[in-house]
């Protein structure tokens, strides 16, 4: 099973590329159009498209592995992907974007319209949903 975890670790970098792709599309297409009129909707739309894109690539990743994993393994990789994402996002926001820790924490305030927490939750849930879809179609 070590091989599964190692593949999943390196697969996280694919998820990172997907996130960058999603952000580039947001920043170059609909954000300049939406931001002046409806505030943070560009980030909310981007969260939704990110969740969808993550699910697609996670589905393809797990399908390629042909079920050589358990539900416990899916839970472990989901948690691993969340931890890797949290580390990356915190470092990026603090050092590159120069946000304070208070500003970084505020990106998790879903009750204020922030949707980032749902992207993280999708990293935990998507492996289970993809596995179910793969097994259902078999």
Q: What is the pLDDT of residues 106-115, one digit of tens each?
A: 989 999 888 9
Q: Are 53 and 18 in contact (CB under 8 A)?
A: yes
Q: Write down the H helix ranges in 1-138.
A: 2-25, 31-38, 41-65, 71-91, 101-106, 116-137
* Per-residue pLDDT at 41: 86
Distance CA 48, CA 69 (A): 27
Q: What is the pLDDT of residues 32-65, one digit of tens each?
A: 888 777 767 888 999 999 999 999 999 999 999 9
pTM recorded for the entire structure: 0.92
- Mean pLDDT within 85-104: 93
Q: Is 32 helix (H, G, I), strand (E, B) or coil?
A: helix
Q: In the chain, what are the domain boundaries? A: 2-137
Distance CA 105, CA 131 (A): 32
Mean pLDDT of the chain, nearest integer? 92
């Amino acid at each position: 099973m070590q091989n599964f975890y190692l593949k999943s670790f390196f697969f996280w970098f694919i998820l990172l590329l997907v996130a960058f792709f999603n952000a580039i599309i947001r920043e170059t297409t609909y954000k300049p159009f939406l931001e002046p009129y409806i505030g943070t909707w560009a980030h909310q739309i981007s969260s939704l498209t990110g969740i969808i894109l993550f699910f697609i690539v996670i589905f393809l990743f797990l399908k390629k592995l042909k079920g050589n994993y358990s539900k416990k393994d899916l839970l472990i990789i989901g948690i691993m992907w969340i931890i890797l994402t949290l580390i990356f996002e915190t470092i990026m926001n603090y050092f590159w974007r120069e946000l304070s820790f208070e500003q970084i924490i505020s990106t998790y305030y879903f009750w204020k319209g922030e949707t980032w927490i749902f992207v993280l939750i999708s990293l935990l849930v998507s492996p289970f949903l993809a596995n179910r879809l793969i097994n259902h179609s078999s």
